[in-house]
Amino acid sequence: MKTDLIQCLEEYNSLKQREDMPCETSVDAKENLSLNSHRSVLREEKHPGKSKQAQMNPSRLLKRLNRHNEISDYHIDANDLAVISGIYQQTRENFDLDFSIREILGFLPQPLSGMKAEFEYMQSLLDRGILSFSYPPEHDFHTNLSTVVQGQYRLNSLIWSILLGKSPLQNCESILSRGFKLEYDPLELICDSLELLFSHYPDLRQDSRIAPGMFYGRVLNKVLEPALNGVASLPSSHWLSKFVSVHGLDPFWQKCLYLIYFHQNRLNVDLSIPALSVLVAGDKAEHRQALISLGKLNVFRREGLLEYEALGMFRNDLSLTDAALTELTGQTEEKAFDLRKVVSQSAFFSPIETPQTLDQLILPVSSLENVRTIIARLNDPRREEIARWGLIGASLSGDESIQQGCNILLHGGPGTGKTFIAGVLAKELDRPLIMINANNIREMFYGSTEKRARALFREMRLITKEANPVFLLNEGDQLIHKRGGDMERSADATENAIQSIFLEEMETFPGILVVTSNLVQNLDPAMSRRFHYKLEIPAPDQTCRLKLWKLHLPATIPGAADLDLESLAGEFPFTGGQIRIVVQNACHAAFSRGSQAKLTRDDLYRYSLLEFGSSFETQSKVIGFR
């Protein structure tokens, strides 16, 4: 269904098409225009309040357009209407989104008086948010003529949303007004409304590269101003009101606070000073003042709310400390911690059920004893004895929680039971097991990956403080592999920065982290010292393989009790993972013979041969760190 705004654009294009039509226009084209005019008459008969002249007169169409409450803020004139209508028509007919300055100026009904006028008009379209750059320019378009001439432009995404009747602004205001009346969590309300706006207006995402000269405060204020009014309506005893009052945050700093919190906890990225300044500023003067405030006069730094004391202009330093987050979210008032809810809302974690028990763990005697030793240490850290003996910790920090942490590396071939062991540790320690989703740490842009790595450990520390689970990072070599040596290559430099983050964070991580790897030789050698235990999990010997066959073939399987498993254990050097696959395939083959069928040795032997002949795995292994 067409909106009134789209109807305005289509009527304008229809009128322009009639004006531009030469005398020798074909009869068919004239008939089509006549038909359109007839349809306009029919619409007029249904809606007698609108005359045909009002529908087809450019000035009347412009007035109709500007009467829209969200369009009126753009102060659209006749030239703007021509540009917007031309882009709409080209997009509708040819699916064009990007346009050159020549094409933009070509939409105007009359050419402008010269290059200076054209330059200033393009600046006006960008400043008012009618147009956006398709790709962020290198230089400020206010001062660099080549940036304007060479740029590619598109209709601003928020304007598109408004024209199509999908503007998020009213919904954002509704979320805030309704939520504050119902006394919902104010921070969550603010983040929900910002998330809705950012989803419709991707230009606001400043996590890759900032477009010099573009400012977004005019739009963001439509969400942030109602948010500030809602916070002001809270009682003085509310934790958020206390936070604002204690730290002396005026409206500017409150806006900055909510944007930092939103990026840190919803988008999982940290802002730089330039990125935040273009979000809160509506023009160049406000941007200049924002840079000064966020740099030299930073209230957050004065109040000790930022994670890094020494701010860097282009580093992503604007992230709140754990203590600030605790105070800001009201957790000091002892809110109940819901681990399942926290994990489900995070992009980094997935909960894992742990049915595994120590009795089910089948390993060579020495490896099994090592696992028992780890469990014993974690169950009883013997802190008093350590203190009495005067043992020296590796960390320079005196934080006792760091001494309670334990990083464990389990390395070996695929299918040897590394993930199973992590489940056993969690089960025996009576702690939840949480898997780290490594794929969600890496982003298209390397800078974002560094931010997400920081955000990962920040969330891990918060969860450890409340629930102290076991974290599992499978195939850790994909994140903590060897550092590159070519510092001139941006990829190597960024990868090295990521490794440094893991080295730094693991040094002081107070929880339990289990990392598995099939390719231990690919791990960075500096990581070796970060692991309290480095266990090689070998391929099972014949004795262990027999136990594994029995484990995966319980008496509940018809025919399992009569099978000769010793020959299978002796002939096929399988890991536990491979034995599980063979048993599953053999059982499916048995199912196909009917409800009375039993599993036979031929079933197992057939799929053992298939698994042995098609396995990608090799028997050679590299032991330890190089």
State mean pLDDT over 599-621. Answer: 77
What rounded mean pLDDT belongs to the chain? 82
Does the structure show a pLDDT above 60 at 394? no
Does the structure show a pLDDT above 70 at 581? yes
Segments making up each domain of the chain, as ranges:
4-163, 169-335, 349-387+400-536, 542-614
Q: Where are the alpha helices (DSSP H) in 214-282?
A: 217-232, 239-246, 251-265, 273-280
State mean pLDDT over 7-22. Answer: 77
**How many angstroms separate the Cα of 123 from the Cα of each of 112, 286, 300, 368, 606?**
14, 17, 34, 71, 74
Task: Name every residue whose Cβ is closer than 8 Å to that of residue 401 and which is 6 or more positions away in sequence.
Answer: 510
pLDDT tens track for 547-568: 999 999 998 999 988 888 999 9
Rounded Cα–Cα distance for residues 582 and 603 (Å): 9
Other beta carbons less than 10 A from residue 139's beta carbon: 14
Q: Residue 209: what pLDDT? A: 61
Of 333, 335, 319, 180, nearest to 243 by C-alpha is 333
Of 512, 545, 518, nearest to 531 by C-alpha is 512
State mean pLDDT over 496-513. Answer: 85
pLDDT top residue among 272 and 482 = 272
Are domains 349-387+400-536 and 542-614 of this chain identical in fold? Answer: no
Cα 185 versus chain centre, distance: 22
pLDDT top residue among 85 and 296 = 85
What does residue 438 show for φ and ψ, rounded to 5 degrees?
A: -60, -35
Lowest mean pLDDT: which of 79-83, 409-413, 591-595? 591-595
Domain at 542-614: CATH architecture:
Orthogonal Bundle (1.10)
Q: What is the side-by-side strand order in the sheet with 512-517?
A: 349-352, 433-436, 470-473, 512-517, 406-411, 533-536
pLDDT top residue among 20 and 577 = 577
What does residue 351 show for φ and ψ, rounded to 5 degrees?
A: -75, 150
Q: Which amino acid is at 167?
A: S
The CATH class of the 349-387+400-536 domain is alpha beta
**How many angstroms separate the Cα of 495 from the Cα of each of 233, 243, 245, 481, 508?**
47, 38, 42, 9, 21
Task: Tell me the whole-structure pTM to 2 decimals.
Answer: 0.58
State mean pLDDT over 109-119. Answer: 92
Q: Are 460 and 503 in contact (CB under 8 A)?
A: no
Other beta carbons less than 10 A from residue 610's beta carbon: 14
State mean pLDDT over 2-31. Answer: 69
Does the structure show a pLDDT above 70 at 38? no
Other beta carbons less than 10 A from residue 392's beta carbon: 5
With bands split at pLDDT 50, 70 and 90, how would you rate the model's confidence at 202?
confident
Rounded Cα–Cα distance for residues 425 and 310 (Å): 40
Rounded Cα–Cα distance for residues 544 and 124 (Å): 76
Q: Residue 295: what pLDDT? A: 85
Q: Residue 626: what pLDDT? A: 33
Does the structure show a pLDDT above 50 at 618? no
Q: Are 402 and 395 in contact (CB under 8 A)?
A: yes
Lowest mean pLDDT: which of 38-42, 228-232, 400-404? 38-42
Lowest mean pLDDT: which of 302-306, 385-389, 464-468, 506-510? 385-389
pLDDT tens track for 288-334: 999 999 988 889 988 989 886 555 544 556 888 888 988 898 876 55
Q: Residue 200: what pLDDT? A: 87
